[in-house]
Structure 1
Amino acid sequence: MSSLENANAEGHYKLLIVAIVIGLFGVFFRFVGETSIYSWVANIALVIGSLIAFKAVFAILK
């Protein structure tokens, strides 16, 4: 598989969409309430979304 075919693989972009959805969930969940549990859940969702996005981007660049 050439690097161009790898960069255009559909799986990378599906993974990016999942990462964006998880990140947006984290952002919107931050404004749900004022308790610390909501903040923890939002922070965890943002970190997980960011890690997935980095994984997808580095797989595209590889």
Structure 2
Amino acid sequence: MNSTENANAEGHYKLMVLAIAIGLTGVFLRFGDFHYASIISNIILIIGVLIALKSVFAILK
């Protein structure tokens, strides 16, 4: 598989959409009104960022 086919692989973009959805969930939980909302939202947001970085670096590879 050449680099153009690798960059256009559907799996990379599915992973990117998943990362965006997880990141948005973390952002929306910041507005939650329960005891550990800030901590949980930060953890979820960091997980989303890590998944997004993984997919971006897989596309660039």
Give the TM-score band, short-chain normalised: over 0.9
Map residues 1-62 of structure 1 onto 2, 5 A cutoff. 1-33=1-33, 35=35, 37-62=36-61
Q: Among all aligned residue pairs of Structure 1 and Structure 2, give the percentage whose two residues are the same amino acid.
A: 64
Structure 2 unaligned residues grouped into runs of 5+: none
- Equivalent residue pairs, number: 61
Deviation per CA, 1:14-52, whole angstroms, max 9, x where unpaired? 0000000000000000101153x1111100000000000
CA distance in 1, matches of 2:29, 2:42: 9
In the TM superposition, residue 58 of structure 1 has moved relative to its aligned partner by: 0.2
> CA RMSD of the aligned region, Å?
0.8
CA distance in 2, matches of 1:14, 1:46: 18
